[in-house]
Chain A
Amino acid sequence: GESVGLHLPTLSVQEGDNSIINCAYSNSASDYFIWYKQESGKGPQFIIDIRSNMDKRQGQRVTVLLNKTVKHLSLQIAATQPGDSAVYFCADKAGSNYKLTFGKGTLLTVNP
């Protein structure tokens, strides 16, 4: 993920809509990417991951898209539910480096 900033981007959607959360990363050597969900008072929870040899991966109601050309990652959530309200972080890792670099996070609010 990029160096974190002072403000948390926010996304507000209606229940049932699809959500798209975006993330830019800066390390061209990054080869593994993860999306995490963090609810208030809890630690981050793994959602889905993707390796650099793929450009799309689907899970249950979630899809991650990777564009290595522009170093961009997105998380699509289908039929967003109130329980999806949380902060979403992307993270990346390069090679044998065991360190995850996190993006700044996006606050998703789902309105019933």
Chain B
Amino acid sequence: KAGVTQTPRYLIKTRGQQVTLSCSPISGHRSVSWYQQTPGQGLQFLFEYFSETQRNKGNFPGRFSGRQFSNSRSEMNVSTLELGDSALYLCASSLRGSLDEQFFGPGTRLTVL
């Protein structure tokens, strides 16, 4: 079956703009997690959604938000972009979250100029 897909794969924005990234989980998976990956900070958890509800949130400012739709697809939004938001944004899906294996997508490479 198809893996986790993320769109777009690459994105260039300027400071102050906002961006929306999309993630389509594996069919049947109801949990979607988002991570930010940077060379300096590594992989950091942003938030996790299950059945359209955010169950957990990492230590990121309120400019980072997300949502999940009834078909389990998820979007994350970053408003008022800063240079430091340049990163690879990874989405992972699993059946229920928690102890289920997470499958990662290829990520969206965001560059903020």
The 0/1 profile, CB within 8 Å of B marked 1, for residues 1-42 of chain A is 100101010000000000000000000000010101000011
Total residue contacts A-B, CB cutoff 8 A: 65
- A6 CA / B39 CA spacing, docked (Å): 7
- A53 beta carbon closer than 8 Å to chain B: no
Q: Interface SS of chain A: helix, strand, loop or mixed?
A: loop
Q: How large is the interface on B (under 10, 10 to 19, 20 to 34, 35 or more residues)?
A: 20 to 34
Chain B residue at minimum C-beta to C-beta distance from A91:
B43
Q: Which of B83-113 contact A (CB under 8 A)?
A: 90, 92, 97-99, 101-107
- A1 CA / B35 CA spacing, docked (Å): 14
The 0/1 profile, CB within 8 Å of B marked 1, for residues 66-106 of chain A is 00000000000000000000000101010011111111110
Evaluate contact between A100 and B45: CB separation under 8 angstroms.
yes
Q: How large is the interface on A (under 10, 10 to 19, 20 to 34, 35 or more residues)?
A: 20 to 34
Evaluate contact between A98 and B56: CB separation under 8 angstroms.
yes
Having A96-B98, A99-B33, one finds 12 other A-B pairs with CB under 8 Å, namely: A1-B42, A34-B102, A43-B107, A44-B43, A93-B98, A93-B99, A98-B31, A98-B56, A99-B45, A99-B48, A101-B45, A105-B43
Q: Footprint of B on A, CB under 8 Å? A: 1, 4, 6, 8, 32, 34, 36, 41-46, 49, 51, 89, 91, 93, 96-105
